[in-house]
Structure 1
Amino acid sequence: MTLPVFGTAAIERAATPRLVLDAVRGALIAHAERRTSVPPPLHLRFPDADGDCHVKAGRITGAADFTVKIVTGFYRNPGAGLPSNHGVVCVVSARTGRIRAILDDQGLLTAWRTAAAGALITHAMARPDATTLGVFGTGEQARLHIDWLAGLRPIGAVLVHGRSRARTRAFCDELTARGRPARPASAEEAAGADMVITATPATAPVLQAAHVRDGAQVTGIGADMPHKNELPPALFARAGMIATDDHDQCLDHGDFGHAVRAGAAAATGDVPAGLLLSGPVERPAGAVTVADLTGVGALDAALASAVLDELTR
Structure 2
Amino acid sequence: MSMPVFDTAAIERAATADLVFEAVRESLIAHAHGRTTVPPPLHLRFPDTDGDCHVKAGWVTGDPDFTVKIATGFYGNPAAGLPTNHGLVCVISAQTGQVRAILDDRGLLTAWRTAAAGALITHAMARPDATTLAVFGTGEQARLQVEWLARLRPIAAILVHGRSWDRARALCEELTARGQHARPASAEEAAGADMVVTTTPASAPVLESAHVRDGAHVTGIGADMPHKNELPPALFGRAALIATDDHDQCLHHGDFGHAVRAGAVTATDDTPVGLLLEKPAERPDDAITVVDLTGVGALDAAVASAVLRELTR
If the TM-score is normalised by the length of the shorter chain, which range does it land in? over 0.9
Alignment-mate amino acid for residue 304 of structure 2: A
What does the per-residue CA deviation read over 1:140-169, in whole Å, with 9 as the maximum and x for residues that have no partner?
A: 000000000000000011000010011111
Match of 1:279 in 2: 279
Contact 1:206 1:231 in 2 (8 A): yes
Cα drift, residue 285 of structure 1: 4.0
C-alpha distance in 2, partners of 1:7/1:285? 46
Deviations 1:164-222 (A, max 9, x none): 01111111011101101100000011000000000000000000000000010000000
Q: Using the alignment, how far apart are the partners of 2:104 and 2:66 within structure 1? A: 16
CA RMSD of aligned residues (A): 0.6
- Which string of whole-angstrom CA distances, capped at 9 and with x for unpartnered residues, describes residues 231-254 of structure 1? 000000000000000000000000
Alignment of 1:1-313 (within 5 A): 1-313=1-313
Amino acid of the residue matched to residue 137 of structure 2? G
**TM-score relative to the length of structure 1:** 0.99
Structure 1 unaligned spans of 5+: none
C-alpha deviations, 1:60-112, integer Å up to 9, x for none? 00110000000000000000000000000000000000000000000000000
Matches of 1:247 and 1:165 in 2, distance apart?
Answer: 35
Which secondary structure does the structure 1 equivalent of 2:63 belong to?
coil
Q: Which runs of 4+ in 1 moved over 2 A?
A: none
Shift of 1:283: 1.6
* 2:11–2:311 contact (8 Å) kept in structure 1: yes
Q: C-alpha separation between the residues in 2 aligned to 1:289 and 1:165?
A: 28
Runs of at least 5 residues in structure 2 that lack an aligned partner in the other structure: none
User: How far did residue 284 of structure 1 move?
Assistant: 3.8
**AA matched with 1:120:** L
- Aligned residue for 1:45, secondary structure, equals strand
**Alpha-carbon distance in structure 2 between the residues aligned to 1:66 and 1:284:** 40
Whether the 8 Å CA contact 1:133–1:159 is kept in 2: the answer is yes
Q: For residues 63 and 177 of structure 1, what CA distance do their matches in structure 2 show?
A: 40
Q: Write the distance in 2 (CA, Å) between the matches of 1:168 and 1:277.
A: 31
- 1:109-133 CA-to-partner distances (Å, cap 9, x unmatched) read 0000000000000000000000000
3-state SS, counterpart of residue 240 of structure 2: strand
> Which amino acid in the other structure matches residue 44 of structure 2?
L
In structure 2, C-alpha distance between the alignment counterparts of 1:166 and 1:131, rounded to whole Å: 25
Whether the aligned pair in 2 keeps the contact of 1:241 and 1:284 (CA below 8 Å) is no
How many residues get paired? 313
Sequence identity percentage: 79
Amino acid at match of 1:154: P
Q: Secondary structure at the match of 1:149?
A: helix
Superposed CA deviations along residues 16-53 of structure 1, whole A, max 9, x for unmatched, are: 10000000000000000100000000000000000000
Is the CA contact 1:243–1:292 (under 8 Å) kept in the aligned structure 2?
Answer: yes
Tell me the distance in 2 between the aligned counterparts of 1:26 and 1:280: 15
Matched-pair contact (CA < 8 Å) for 1:59–1:298:
yes
For 1:176, the aligned partner's letter is: T
Distance 2:238 2:174 in 1: 35
SS at match of 1:23: helix
What letter corresponds to residue 210 of structure 1 in structure 2? A
